Amino acid sequence: MKDSVSAGEFGGASKVVEGNSVSSGSPVLIRRATQITLLFVGVVVLWMCVYSSATPFGFRAVSNYFNSASLKGSIDPNLECVLRKASMKGKTVIITTLNDAWAEPGSIFDLFLESFHIGNQTEKLLKHLVIITWDQKAYARCIALHPHCYQLETKGDNFTNEAFFMTPNYLHMMWRRIEFLDTVLEKGYSFVFTDTDIMWFRDPFKQFFKDGDFQIACDFFNGNSYDLKNLPNGGFTYVKSNNRTIRFYKFWFKSRKDYPEKHDQDVLNLIKTHPFISQLKLKIRFLSTAYIGGFCQRSKDFNKVCTMHANCCVGLDNKVNDLKILLEDWRKYMALPANDKKNSHPSWSVPQSCRTSFQRGNKKNNSTRR
Ligand SMILES: *[C@@H]1O[C@H](CO)[C@@H](O)[C@H](O)[C@H]1NC(C)=O
Ligand SMILES: *[C@@H]1O[C@H](CO)[C@@H](O)[C@H](O)[C@H]1NC(C)=O
Ligand SMILES: *[C@@H]1O[C@H](CO)[C@@H](O)[C@H](O)[C@H]1NC(C)=O
Ligand SMILES: *[C@@H]1O[C@H](CO)[C@@H](O)[C@H](O)[C@H]1NC(C)=O
Ligand SMILES: *[C@@H]1O[C@H](CO)[C@@H](O)[C@H](O)[C@H]1NC(C)=O
């Protein structure tokens, strides 16, 4: 719970009070009052950082109070706290988003967390995982299981239920997510964004390119990590915080207006060759499905796979069904003696329900890869 950075912030707030008492008349009083308020906010931020996981609902009430109070702009001490506490060195966090349907016991969220426990050396990554919740119920479930949860303000939207693919609610959630990730970049944090229906079996950081700003998983990877013709999947990205990525996310978010009724991934496909992106000199890299795989194109080698995504799959129940089988496949592999791991070449027994659902969904519409 100790957090040297937040202690520093507290010190900063008190310095403001010391530094400024030379004017005269009533402005001084006003400034004093402002300074005291700032100090008070500093203390509360510190207090919230320390106690957030202990008293979540009290904490929510306080943070709501400050959101509606006169704190200017988008300063959100709560998010700052969560990011800071979860950060690994180099200001990097792992982020996922969660709604109530996926957070239900026995559903996707449980499988997601389980994968970190049974993966090879992935358990230690959990302390860097920030879970962004869309509704109060998902938040409650999150804090029961995990130390870093953040409830996204969604201004009256109701994201509680399963957001069916391509409904207005679904689209809104996807775009809100892009906007939120831009905020994270602006705060100076790099991130790995992962959908919750992605199972983590190995640390993917070793597979990221040193020289990439924006690295993204693929539904179908053609063997060339630079080739813009790869079919990306926005469910898994590694993004470094810098001026190029911040501007890129703003551009991506803004482009939704040019392509109404398209989701972020389709729009990304449409803008990835836009001249603005090359002007930005944004370094885009596509991640190989050999490591960052999914049901569209599976990671063939169990000795290499880092993550597996329930993509090319329609419907929550189908995802849950197949991800359970996927975890079982992995457990069997992990239980093999070291020699057999290398030599026995196991293969995945999924997709099953996902394949059928996807073929059915595909007839109606071609853009159901998510
Ligand atoms: C797990 O990770 C360790 C350390 O990187 C490595 O030595 C070991 O071979 C890995 N095991 C498997 C099954 O990948
Ligand atoms: C959200 O929708 C669900 C079901 O439609 C409903 O039970 C719940 O009360 C709603 N929540 C809010 C905050 O409106
Ligand atoms: C980003 O832009 C700001 C302001 O334009 C500049 O001061 C800063 O050096 C830039 N940072 C990087 C990493 O390019
Ligand atoms: C199917 O895809 C088209 C074009 O991608 C889109 O305009 C349409 O809204 C989609 N229909 C449904 C039912 O999702
Ligand atoms: C859907 O995909 C099939 C096969 O990939 C293709 O032949 C067809 O033209 C596509 N339909 C639409 C509406 O894009």
pLDDT digits (tens, 9 = 90+) for 123-171: 999 999 999 998 889 999 999 999 999 998 765 555 555 555 556 677 7
- Closest C-alpha among 292, 305, 293 to residue 351: 293
Q: pLDDT category, 28, cuts 50, 70, 90? A: low
Of the chain, the end-to-end C-alpha distance in Å amounts to: 38
Which atom number of ligand 1 is nearest to the Cα of residue 334?
13
Report CA(3)–ligand 5 centroid distance (Å).
Answer: 54
pLDDT class for 58, splitting at 50, 70, 90?
Answer: very low
Q: 3-class DSSP state for residue 164? A: coil
Matching CATH number, 87-370, of 3.90.550.10, 3.40.50.300, 3.40.630.40, 1.20.1580.10: 3.90.550.10
Question: What is the predicted pLDDT for the residue at 174?
Answer: 84
Ligand 1: residues within 6 Å at CB? 120-121, 341
Atom nearest to 135 CA in ligand 2: 13
CA atoms lying within 13 Å on the CB side of residue 245? 27
- State both tokens at 209: 């390119």
Q: According to CATH, where is 3.90.550.10 located in the chain? A: 87-370
Element spanning 132, H or E: strand 129-133
96, 99, 100, 103 alpha-carbon torsion, rounded to 10°: -20
Higher pLDDT: 50 or 227? It is 227
Q: Is the pLDDT of residue 66 over 80?
A: no
pLDDT of residue 11: 32
Q: What is the pLDDT of residues 75-124, one digit of tens each?
A: 567 899 999 999 999 999 999 999 888 999 999 999 999 999 999 999 99
Ligand 2 neighbour 161 (Cβ under 6 A): yes
Distances (CA, A) of 216 to 179, 210, 227, 267: 17, 14, 12, 14
Among 6-10, 109-113, 278-282, 321-325, the least confident range:
6-10
Q: Which of 166, 358, 364 to mutate to test the pocket of ligand 4 (most atoms within 8 A of CB)?
A: 166
pLDDT of residue 198 exceeding 90, the answer is: yes
Instruction: Using pLDDT thresholds of 50, 70 and 90, give the confidence band for residue 292.
Output: very high
Atom in ligand 4 nearest the alpha carbon of residue 166 = 14
Q: Reply yes or no on whether the pLDDT at 237 is more than 50.
A: yes
Q: How many whole angstroms from 358 Cα to the centroid of ligand 5?
A: 14
- Predicted local distance difference test score (pLDDT) of residue 135: 87
Specify the pLDDT at position 262. Answer: 84
Residue 114 Cα to ligand 2 middle (Å): 28
Q: Are 52 and 59 in contact (CB under 8 A)?
A: yes
User: Which residue, by CA, sits nearest to atom 5 of ligand 3?
Assistant: 243
- Which residue, 5, 22, 191, 164, is CA-closest to 90? 191
Q: Which residues contact 81 (CB under 8 A, 6 or more apart)?
A: 6, 45, 48, 49, 52
Q: Residue 12's pLDDT is what?
A: 32
